[in-house]
Amino acid sequence: MEVRDLTKRFGGLVAVDHVTFQANEGEVLSIIGPNGAGKSTLFKLITSFLPRTAGRVIFQGEDITGLSAHLVARKGVVRTFQETTIFKEMSALENVVIAHHLRGRATSVGLFLNTRVARQDEASFRDSADEILDYLGLSRVRHEKARRLPHGYLRALGIAIAMACDPKVLLLDEPFSGMNPEETDRMVETVRGIRDRGVTILLVEHDMRAVMRLSDRIIVLNFGRKIADGTPREIQNDEAVIEAYIGREDDELGI
């Protein structure tokens, strides 16, 4: 996947400013930066949840900029959400079953008439949902209403929903936020496992320990601009990055 000069302006504010990068197949590419750097906006632009001002997103040789969000998902570029965006009034299992929507072969009329294809779809969705829930350690709570699940499970459920779409590129928006160290460790392993299945992962995250362990490459944004791009080790020693995070001594002010 290739992002070229992607730009988003909100009035006078340039939230994402000519960001260009490439994500290689099967890698974990993290996007970090201080709050307000434009990371989440970048995700929304890639997945068409926000219209871009300029720039392009190329996926598998095809320009996917400007497609509707559901069509981008259909191409295999799937995002998760910050916080806990799930279908709250459905059970964990139902959440994952419905997320198989893209694999459905039955038409609306077929669903209504409960044709054989519709029944086959449903059976295969359930099997696959069971497998995904199992993989993410959610089997025990599969019949629990999502609203009642604790935070850690909800994050996992968010990823389960995205996995059900059979993504080629998975964009994870702060999957580790609000997790304790053990939960984070488990989730890091899970994300690695997903990558090992051949899924390219784009990760926006503030938990640097997790980012450094997980990432193959890191991109750093500040005020909407890409200020660095490299391996975790390179990023850790990058002057511009350190400055963006910690600030620089100001001789005039004496701090």
Partner 1 sequence: MRLRVAAALVGLALYLVVVPFVFRESRYLLGVLTTASVLSLISLGVWLTFAIGRINIGQAAFALVGGYTTAILSVKLGVSFWLCLPASGLAAALVGAVIGWPILRLKGVYFAMITLTLSEAARLAALNGGTITQGATGILNIPLPGEVTFAGVVLVPAFRALNVHLAFYYLAAILLVLGLFTVTRIASCRLGWIFRSLRQDEALAASIGVNVAKYRVLAFALGCFFAGIAGAFFTVSQQSIYPSSFGVPDSVYFMLYCFLGGLSYVSGPVVGAFVLFLGFELLHGLREYQMLTYAAIMITVMLWLPNGLLSLRLPARPDMKADTA
Q: Which is nearer to partner 1, 161 or 241 (CB)?
A: 161
- Region from 22-30, 96-104, 134-142, 202-210 binding partner 1, contact rule CB under 8 A: 96-104
Complex with partner 1: residue 89 or 189, whichever CB lies closer: 89
Q: Is 94 in the site for partner 1 (CB under 8 A)?
A: yes
E strand map for the chain: 2-10, 13-22, 28-32, 54-59, 62-63, 77-79, 169-173, 200-204, 217-222, 225-230
Of 31, 42, 97, 241, the residue at the interface with partner 1 (CB under 8 A) is 97
| Closest CB 112 distance from partner 1, rounded Å | 6
Nearest-angstrom CA–CA distance, 34 and 231: 18
Is residue 122 near partner 1 by the rule CB under 8 A?
A: yes
223 binds partner 1 (CB under 8 A): no
Among 45, 165, 170, 219, binds partner 1 (CB under 8 A): 165
At residue 78, φ and ψ (nearest 5 deg) are -125, 140
Per-position b or e across 198-216, b if 16+ CB within 10 A of its CB: ebbbbbbbebeebbeebbb
Least Å distance, CB 165 to partner 1, is 5
Degrees to nearest 5, angle at CA 49 with 244 and 178: 55
Q: Which is nearer to partner 1, 105 or 248 (CB)?
A: 105
Quick one: which of 91, 128, 190, 222 contacts partner 1 (CB under 8 A)? 91
Does residue 88 belong to the site contacting partner 1 (CB under 8 A)? yes
Smallest CA-to-CA distance from 167 within 50, 47, 5, 68 is with 47
Tokens of 219: 């991109």
Helix axes 151-164, 116-135, angle to 10 degrees: 140
Question: Within positions 125 to 164, which residues make up the interface with partner 1, using CB under 8 A?
Answer: 145, 161-162, 164
Return the number of other C-beta atoms located less than 10 Å from residue 232's C-beta.
16
Beta strands 200-204 and 169-173, pairing class: parallel
Residue of 31, 45, 92, 118 that binds partner 1 (CB under 8 A): 118
Binding site for partner 1 (CB under 8 A): 47, 49, 68-70, 73-74, 78-81, 85-91, 94, 97-99, 101-102, 104, 106, 108, 111-112, 114, 118, 121-122, 145, 161-162, 164-165
